[in-house]
């Protein structure tokens, strides 16, 4: 690692459900913001285990910025990163409901090749109950700045749930940004909002 790399600030990207460390969005972050050293942890579907993994990375690397999308956005909200700027994109605040209604219980294929070699994952009642239990026993943890981006056309979460999720983020100290052209997965308009937030840091 050269001196230039060592002098860069550190950022972390947390992928969503059915994704992994090879996430295309993570790669986009690396291209768009080359002045950061990017951490791309790979996490699973069990919320408490995923947050534990993220917290270990945070403790070791102390990222200045953490960006999470969808299920990764929910994880970011609860991650123990009081010294980080948190940016969540369409956070799946009610993931336990979305998983059942939008994805369905059972075995599903990952979108990409994961570092852990897993090709499929399972969503079951235990996963969903674990999310409910975790949220009941933990509070979101604020960073030094908190930003939440919500797509006006989120086809996965849906309009009513998006409004509810935005209210939850607002109540927990997040500045709300509306992505008028966006959808659930990050689009150029989403990345433009992220770029403006990071430019002001």
For 48, counting Cβ atoms within 10 Å of its Cβ (0-12 exposed, 13-18 middle, 19+ buried), the class is: middle
Best CA proximity match to 33, nearest among 1, 57, 11: 11
pLDDT at 183 > cutoff 90: no
**Structural domains counted in the chain:** 1
Question: Sign of the CA dihedral 15, 21, 23, 29?
Answer: positive
Long-range contacts, 183-187 (Cβ 8 Å, 24+):
183/151, 183/153, 183/154, 183/155, 184/70, 184/90, 184/151, 184/154, 184/155, 184/156, 184/157, 185/25, 185/69, 185/70, 186/25, 186/28, 186/69, 186/89, 187/151
Q: What's the domain range around 37?
A: 3-199
pLDDT at 178 > cutoff 80: yes
Considering the chain, what percentage of its residues have pLDDT values greater than 70?
97
Two tokens, residue 60: 């070791």
Instruction: Give the max Cα distance, the chain.
Output: 49
Distance CA(106)–CA(121), nearest Å, equals 8
- What CATH number should be reported for the domain holding residue 102? 3.40.50.1820
Which pLDDT tens digit goes with each residue over 54-67?
999 999 999 999 99
**DSSP assignments along 98-138, one per residue:** HIIIII-SEEEE-SS--TT---EEEE-HHHHHHHHHHHHH-
Query: 119: which residues sit within 8 A by CB, 6+ positions away?
Result: 109, 110
Distance CA(46)–CA(67), nearest Å, equals 19
Terminus-to-terminus CA distance in the chain, angstroms? 25
Under DSSP, the state recorded for 166 is H
Which pLDDT tens digit goes with each residue over 18-52?
999 999 999 999 999 999 999 999 999 999 999 99
pLDDT bin (cut points 50, 70, 90) of residue 186 is confident
């Amino acid at each position: 690692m050269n001196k230039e790399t060592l002098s860069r600030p550190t950022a972390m990207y947390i992928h969503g459900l059915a994704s992994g460390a090879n996430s295309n969005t993570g790669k986009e972050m690396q291209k768009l913001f080359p002045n950061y050293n990017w951490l791309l942890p790979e996490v699973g579907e069990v919320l408490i285990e995923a947050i534990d993994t993220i917290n270990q990375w945070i403790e070791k690397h102390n990222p200045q910025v953490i960006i999470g999308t969808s299920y990764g956005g929910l994880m970011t909200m609860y991650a123990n990163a009081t010294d980080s700027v948190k940016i969540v994109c369409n956070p799946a605040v009610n993931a336990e409901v979305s998983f059942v209604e939008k994805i369905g219980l059972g075995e599903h294929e990952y979108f990409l090749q994961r570092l852990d070699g897993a090709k499929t994952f399972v969503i079951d009642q235990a996963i969903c109950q674990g999310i409910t239990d975790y949220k009941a026993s933990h509070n979101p943890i604020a960073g030094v700045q908190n930003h939440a981006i919500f797509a006006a056309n989120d086809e996965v979460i849906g309009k009513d749930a998006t409004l509810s999720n935005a209210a939850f983020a607002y109540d927990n100290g997040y500045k709300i940004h509306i992505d008028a052209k966006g959808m659930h997965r990050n689009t150029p308009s989403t990345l433009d909002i992220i770029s403006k937030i990071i430019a002001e840091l």
